[in-house]
Amino acid sequence: MFKKGFSIFLALLIAGSICACSKQAGNQSDAGTTAAQSQVQSSTAAAGKSKEDTTAKKGDKKTAAAKKKTTAAGKTTAAAKQKTTAAGKKATTKAPATTKQPKTKQPTSKKQTLAVSFTIDCSQAVGKVEGLPKSGYFLKGAGVSVRNGANAYEALVKCCDANGVDMVASQTMYGMYVSSIGGLAEKETGKTSGWTYTVNGKYPPKACDKYALSDGDYIEFIYKA
């Protein structure tokens, strides 16, 4: 009986110890679970904070990069504006005034021949020298065509040949000297008598072979008595 009671007591004591251990183990398990949950929550919070920090840093870097790009874009825009302004200034610069080129006169076509008229006046010797025409003219207003650039002497020779009038001339240091026309020679009516000529009513200061004719000239050889 005593053994049986002791055995029951021992069994209850063991059972109580087991329950106490189980409860303590449960409490420890709950505490471990709670600690683990707290640790997980702390880790999650830390991870979140780290992620937020990382995100914030990335955001800061992106913002800084964006600011740099914006600044660079602003500088580029400013440079473009400066170039545009410079180009505008260049464009508005007045172009140098063009120098007007003087109009060059087109050379007029020269005539191949000149038309001139001729008179050979011997009126001052009429009555003093035999054989002279009573009119006082060997030729009067005779037309003759000469080459362009011909002189008065050439025209005289051609005119005399065309009308059958004799003419005598000689070369001097001053040019050709006409000494006789139509048989009327120098000094026949005096020491200073002789032939001279005019062109358009004027006495040229040169020998007749030195005077170049123009179209329409009127040449007159006059015997001075």
Bridge pairing between strands 218-224 and 113-121:
parallel
- What was the pLDDT predicted at 29? 43
In whole angstroms, how far apart are CA 119 and each of 72, 108, 116, 198?
Answer: 100, 30, 10, 10
At residue 142, the pLDDT reads 93
How far CA 47 is from CA of 35, 41, 51, 205, in Å, comes to 18, 10, 6, 127
Q: Could you count the other beta carbons within 10 Å of the beta carbon of residue 219?
A: 23
What local confidence, expressed as pLDDT, does residue 91 receive? 47
Report the pLDDT value the prediction gives residue 44, as an integer from 0 to 100: 45
Q: In what order do the strands lie in the sheet with 175-181?
A: 167-172, 175-181, 184-185
Position 195 scores a pLDDT of 97
Regarding pTM above 0.85, the answer is no
Alpha helices in the chain (DSSP H): 2-92, 152-163
* pLDDT at 36 (0 to 100): 41
Q: pLDDT tens digits, the chain, 225 residues: what are they?
A: 544 555 565 556 665 555 444 444 444 444 444 444 544 454 444 444 545 554 445 555 555 554 555 555 555 555 555 655 555 555 445 555 666 666 665 555 567 999 999 999 999 999 999 999 999 999 999 999 999 999 999 999 999 999 999 999 999 999 999 999 999 999 999 999 999 999 999 999 999 999 999 999 999 999 999
